[in-house]
Each structure stands twice: as structure tokens, then as C-alpha cells.
Amino acid sequence: MTSPSPIAGVVAATATDPARRGVLRVLLRNPLALASLVVLVLVVVVSIAAPLLAPFGPNEVVPGLARQGPEAGHLLGGDGAGRDVLSRLLFAGRLTLIGTVVTLVVAVVVGVPAGMLAGYYGSWWDSVSSWGANIVIAIPGMVLLLAVIAAIGPQTIPVMAMFGILLSPGFFRLARTAVQNVRNELYVDAARVSGLSDARIIARHVFGVVRGPLIIQASFSAGAAVLVQTGLQFLGLGEQGTPSWGQMLSDAFTNIYAAPHLVFPPGITIAITVASLALVGNALRDSVNGRSAPSRARRVPPEAPADPTPDDTSLLVVRGMQIGYPAGNGVSVVVDDVGFSIAAGEVVGLVGESGSGKSQTAFSILGLLPPEASIRRGIVHFDGRDLLAASPTERARLRGSRIAYIPQEPMSNLDPSFTIGAQLTEPLRAVRGLSRSAARARALELLEEVGIADPARTFASYPHQISGGMAQRVLIAGAVSCDPALLIADEPTTALDVTVQAEILDLLRRLQEERGMAVLLVTHNFGVVADLCQRVVVMRTGRVVEEGDVTAVFADPREDYTKQLLSAIPNGTRLRAPVVPVSRRKTS
Ligand SMILES: Nc1ncnc2c1ncn2[C@@H]1O[C@H](COP(=O)(O)OP(=O)(O)OP(=O)(O)O)[C@@H](O)[C@H]1O
């Protein structure tokens, strides 16, 4: 599974793709956005159903109704010409709707395909279309719209279509950037290799990425379209025979002294509609930025308390851990009743096949489960502290100082935009408070300590300029830079080739011996456990099935599953002398 960035144990949260979480679900969780959505749906439904709902025709003049206030049969009174205001308001929404839809369709149809092609193919496609988008941006919009009206007359559809063209560069840039971000992702390469056509890859793999941001952009653009359209109608530049909100507002201002109440129906309708579009857009944007998402996995009230005060004084104590994810109307439990302890300086292997729940268990200790996960019951005590009761800030502080983490994919955990030196020194300065020069000196020392041959050169390199093995050494240097009491290593050698794997394991072994830190080594490989660990916890389908001293489990595995894992070790792997825990070392 994807691992968060771990430099010096300062681990970043994994972003959750809002498009995948479902736009509707995001809106339903935000009461203000939900209310706005209801308003927008009402405006649309009422406008479409105007001929059925309106008591009078939009242009029907009722004798004696001119400038009258609300009265029986005319809930909003009559306008300057004696027409029923409520009926006109209902009909007026139709023109606004049509104008807004035309604007959005044109902006999306012009901007999105061009942006996707420019982002996907790059080269001249990108140059030509970016050049075109820049020209459109440079045109003064209102002047162009007035010129179009002067040329063809006040026709809503062509004018709003032109406004759509003016908005299209926003959609173009959005689509282009989103596609550029994914076009080199491994899954897009995999789709290419599997023989899918470009059109199919774009439609299937790339459009999914653009969809969420496009919906957000569309809601803001719709607000702009309503305002521009209403503004033009207010100035008398809209179609004369068809009722519109802007025209009603203009009529209200003409009669402002005789009938001031006429301002309210169109004014409030325009304000509520535009505000609702903005609120929906804001809710969607916030969800993309992660502001509305719950910070981390919730700990739901335990169904049955796990042993509340473990007597175990080990450095790390996990008891009765149960982790679940929402599945349909229920919960899918992926880790159940998992418990183990790690003494100070002890190296424990957490072993099991893929999907057995090792990473979920490790992430629950780190406090880095995804937001949708819930810890349904259990205890995690570290150094006597109840981690599940600790605040996110406390947990973040612990990760940067006492608990460190090494991920399985070193390359994807280094930021390609910064040098290795910048990524190593930043946490040293922010977390340990070192000066710039002291942080640099310490980072160089750490690089040397993890066996990098030319520390100064690596310090100045960008991630793409170093090998996978070097990247893992860099991450290990970052992890141990805070002198952690516990190092959690999640399959630290999986992404590396066999010789490098052995070197990294030797490095971990050496660092553990020198520093006496406890290590939780997550792996599916019993050979790695044999090489490094004193104790092993075997997991299968989210549960612990066997636990014990590595030597004892190797000599006499109780469970058939453990025997199967052991039989997968290549012939010739031998148990090395176990690392001696610091707590049990003699201090002679
Ligand atoms: N975000 C998620 N939503 C739902 N289920 C999830 C999520 N993340 C993990 N799981 C499920 O949790 C179970 C345990 O996953 P976990 O990543 O801990 O396995 P693992 O033993 O570490 O395997 P691997 O070595 O392949 O990473 C799996 O069945 C997985 O499908």
C-alpha cells in the first residue's frame, strides 16, 4: 500500500482523491453546502416547472396591479407595468438557467478537451493551445461582450456562448495541469503497455482525475455566468420580450421610490443563487484541499473495552486492536484483536502474507490510518502514554522525535523538487532546532553513517539523481536523525534488488545495535525476520496467529500457516545471531 513520506519521522498524510470519494458524499457531509445544493435544485425545478406553477403569464398585465404590494392572488405584488411579480420571477429563472448552461457547455467543450490533449501529448499541442488560451485571457471580456451585442443585438444565447469562450482558459489550464500530473503515473504507463488506445486511456484513466476539479470550477463559473447575464440585462442589454432577473431588477430601480419592495424578489433570488453556487464551490474546493476531511482515523467508542491498563511496561504495547473501514451499510474489519509488545531495544518482526493487516497495524501505531478508517477497539501504549487518547499534535510530535518510520517505496517518498540535503536538513532544523550550518553538518554525518560513499554529492543531488538503494539509505538517515526509541520499518527492502536488500538489512542491523532502538519490522519475508529479529508476530487475515522467539518459532512452528511462510524462505537462509536487546545487555 502507499506509504506516507517519512523523512525524520515527520510523516505527511496521504491525500485522498476527492473525485474517488464522491462529490455528492463530500457535499452531503457539509450542512451549508447541502442547504445550498437544495436551493439550487429548487431554483432549477421551479424554473423548469414555471408554466405549471405560475398563476399568471409572464407578460400578462393585470389591470390595477401596477406597483401594488403583496395581496391576495399576487403574493409578491405587481411590477411597474402591472404584471404579477411572482409569475415573472418563476419564468425569469428559465432564461438565467439557459444562459448559464450555454456558458458552461461552451467553456467545458472548448477548454477541457484542449487542456487534456495539451497535457497528455505536450509538445506542439501544448504550445499552440496554451498560446490560444493566453490570447483569450488577454481579451477584455466585458468590452468583447458589448461588441458582440452591438453586432448581433441583445441575444442571450450567443452572448453567453461568447462568455463561455472567455471562461474556457480556466477549464483549459485546470485540465492541462491535472493531466500533466498523471500522464507519467505507473498506472497510465501500464494502460499504454496493455495496448489501450490513447483515446481510451484519456477517457478511462485520465478523465477520472480531472472530473473533481472540473465540477468545482463549473460551480464558480456558473456563479459568474449568472452575474454577468443579470448585469447585462440590468443595463437593458438583454432580450426585451423574455422576463429575466436582471430586467426585473432594472424595473424595480425605475420604480424605487413608488414601490421599493420590487427590489427584493429579484435581488434576493440573484443573491441566494450566486451565494449557493459559491458555497457549493467552496465546499468542494475545501474537500480537495483536505480542510473538511477528518484529520485522521477516528477512534469510535469501543464496543467492548480492551484491557484498559496493561501491566506490561514494554516500550510499545498493543492490545485488542480492531480496525475497520466503511463497507456498504456496515464495517469491514481488516485488523481484529491484534496484540503484541516490544521492549526497549527489541527487534520484532510483524510477518504475514499480503493483505494480512501488517501495514494497517503499523499505521495505527503511527497514527496514520486514512480518514475513513476507524479504530473500533484496542490500546496502543508507547512509553507509558496512551497514543489513541493523544491529540494529533502530540502524535505528530512523537513521530518527529521518538517514533520514526521507514517506508517500502523509497523513491516515491522523496520530493522530486528538493535536493536530498534540503529534505534532510528541514526536519533537523524544524524539529531539533539546529542552525542551518549545524543541520548541514549533521545531515552529512548521517549520510556517511548510513554508508553513502560521497555524502556531499548526495547531499546536493535531487532524488532522480540517486539509486533506489541510496534513496532508502537517505530515508533511513532521516528516520534515525531524531534518535528514535522505536523505528517502524514497513517492508524496507521490498522495492530493492536482492544485493541492495542485503546491504540495507545489514545497515538496519548495525544502526539498531549501535543505537539500541526498538524496531518493528513489517515484512512478508520470514528470511528477513530470521536475519534481523529476536521475536516474531505472525499475522493472517487481520489476526495474530502465532507469536514467539524467532529461534523457537523457526525450530518448532505451531501453526500450519507459519510453516508455509517458513517453507517459502530460500534454501540456505540461516538464522543469524539475534540482536541483543539493549534492555538485556550487560553494562560491563
Ligand atoms: N483504505 C482502505 N479501505 C478499505 N480497506 C483497506 C484500506 N487499506 C487497506 N485495506 C484492507 O486492509 C487489509 C490489510 O491491508 P494491509 O495494507 O495492512 O496489508 P499488508 O499485510 O500490509 O499487505 P501488503 O504487504 O501487501 O502491504 C487488506 O485486506 C486491505 O484490502
Stretch 154-181: mean pLDDT: 91
**Centroid of ligand 1 to alpha carbon of 324 (angstroms):** 11
Average pLDDT, the chain: 82
Residues 110 and 226 in one domain: yes
Residues 280 and 319 in one domain: no
Residues 501 and 460 in one domain: no
Whether 13 maps to a domain, the answer reads: no
**Centroid of ligand 1 to alpha carbon of 21 (angstroms):** 18
Based on the structure, what is the number of domains in the chain? Answer: 3
Residues 419 and 489 in one domain: no
Q: Which residue has the cell 411597474?
A: 80
Give pLDDT, residue 311.
65
Condensed to tens digits (0 to 9), the pLDDT of residues 32-44 reads 888 888 999 999 9
Question: What letter would DSSP give residue 577?
Answer: P
Nearest residue to 60 via CA among 71, 74, 45, 72: 74
Transcribe 267-317 into DSSP letters.
HHHHHHHHHHHHHHHHHHHHHHHTSSS-SS-EEPPPSS---SS----SSEE
* φ and ψ at residue 321, rounded to 5 degrees: -70, 125
Look at ligand 1, atom 14, and give the residue with the nearest C-alpha.
Answer: 357
Using CA atoms, how far apart are residues 185 and 20, in angstroms rounded to an integer? Answer: 17
- Sequence-distant (6+) residues with CB within 8 A of 197 are none
Pairing mode, if any, of strands 486-490 and 347-351? unpaired
Give pLDDT, residue 221.
92
Contact 26, 498 (CB under 8 A): no
Whether 99 maps to a domain, the answer reads: yes
Whether 43 maps to a domain, the answer reads: no
Whether 357 maps to a domain, the answer reads: yes
3-state helix, strand, coil in the chain (%, to 5): 55, 15, 30
Which of 289, 309, 326 terminates a domain? The answer is 289
Residues 374 and 517 in one domain: yes
Look at ligand 1, atom 17, and give the residue with the nearest C-alpha.
Answer: 359
In this structure, which amino acid lies at residue 509?
Answer: R
Whether 564 maps to a domain, the answer reads: yes
Testing ligand 1's pocket by substitution, the residue of 318, 322, 358 carrying the most ligand atoms inside 8 A of its CB is 358
With a Cβ cut-off of 6 Å, ligand 1 is lined by: 1, 325, 334, 352, 354-360, 370, 524
Residues 114 and 211 in one domain: yes
**Centroid of ligand 1 to alpha carbon of 567 (angstroms):** 24
Look at ligand 1, atom 27, and give the residue with the nearest C-alpha.
Answer: 1
Q: Which grid coordinates belong to 397?
A: 510530535
- Sequence-distant (6+) residues with CB within 8 A of 442 are 425, 428, 434, 481
- Sequence-distant (6+) residues with CB within 8 A of 179 are 115, 116, 118, 119, 120, 202, 206, 209, 210
- Tallying the residues shown for the chain, one arrives at 588
**Centroid of ligand 1 to alpha carbon of 358 (angstroms):** 8
Which of 419, 451, 481 terminates a domain? The answer is 481
**Centroid of ligand 1 to alpha carbon of 497 (angstroms):** 24
- Is 21 exposed, middle or buried, given 0-12, 13-18 or 19+ CB atoms closer than 10 A? middle
Tell me: pLDDT of 291 over 90: no
Transcribe 111-166 into DSSP letters.
HHHHHHHHHHH-HHHHHHHHHHHHHHHHS-HHHHHHHHHHHH-S-HHHHHHHHHHH
Stretch 11-20: mean pLDDT: 36
**Which atom of ligand 1 is nearest the CA belonging to 494?**
25
Condensed to tens digits (0 to 9), the pLDDT of residues 173-213 reads 998 988 887 776 656 765 665 566 777 777 766 776 777 77
- Enter the ipTM: 0.96
Using CA atoms, how far apart are residues 514 and 500, in angstroms rounded to an integer? Answer: 21
Stretch 338-362: mean pLDDT: 92
Instruction: For residue 368, give the 3-state DSSP assignment.
Output: coil
Residues 314 and 398 in one domain: yes
Out of 27-31, 112-116, 316-320, 357-361, least confident range: 27-31
Look at ligand 1, atom 19, and give the residue with the nearest C-alpha.
Answer: 355
Residues 382 and 417 in one domain: no
Tell me: pLDDT of 322 over 90: yes
Residues 278 and 234 in one domain: yes
Tell me: pLDDT of 549 over 90: yes
In this structure, which amino acid lies at residue 265?
Answer: P
Whether 215 maps to a domain, the answer reads: yes
Give the residue, 224 or 579, on which the prediction is more confident: 224
Q: What whole-number percentage of the chain has pLDDT above 90?
A: 37
**Which atom of ligand 1 is nearest the CA belonging to 327?**
4
In this structure, which amino acid lies at residue 450?
Answer: V
Stretch 157-162: mean pLDDT: 93
Give pLDDT, residue 9.
35
Whichever domain contains 159, its CATH number is 1.10.3720.10
- Using only C-alpha atoms, what is the Rg of the chain? 32
Count CB atoms within 10 A of the CB of residue 560.
9
Tell me: pLDDT of 22 over 60: no
- Give the N- to C-terminal CA distance of the chain in Å, as an integer: 44
Judged by phi (left if over 0) then psi (alpha if -120 to 50, else beta), residue 330 lies in beta
Tell me: pLDDT of 478 over 70: yes
Tell me: pLDDT of 31 over 50: yes
Testing ligand 1's pocket by substitution, the residue of 331, 338, 359, 366 carrying the most ligand atoms inside 8 A of its CB is 359
Tell me: pLDDT of 338 over 70: yes
Nearest residue to 144 via CA among 170, 165, 130: 165
Whether 209 maps to a domain, the answer reads: yes
Residues 468 and 534 in one domain: no
Cα three-residue angle 381-382-387, rounded to 5 degrees = 60
Whether 67 maps to a domain, the answer reads: no
Contact 341, 330 (CB under 8 A): no
Look at ligand 1, atom 26, and give the residue with the nearest C-alpha.
Answer: 354
Give pLDDT, residue 397.
80
Condensed to tens digits (0 to 9), the pLDDT of residues 110-130 reads 999 999 889 888 878 889 999
Burial profile 197-212: b = 16 or more Cβ within 10 angstroms, e = fewer: eeeebbeebbbebbeb
**Centroid of ligand 1 to alpha carbon of 360 (angstroms):** 6
Residues 277 and 333 in one domain: no
Which of 289, 312, 340 terminates a domain? The answer is 289
**Which atom of ligand 1 is nearest the CA belonging to 372?**
1
| Maximum separation of any 2 CA atoms in the chain, in Å | 109
Stretch 540-559: mean pLDDT: 91
E strands present in 328-479: 330-342, 347-351, 374-382, 385-386, 403-406
Domain that includes residue 567, residue range: 296-402+485-571
Residues 398 and 264 in one domain: no
Contact 428, 442 (CB under 8 A): yes
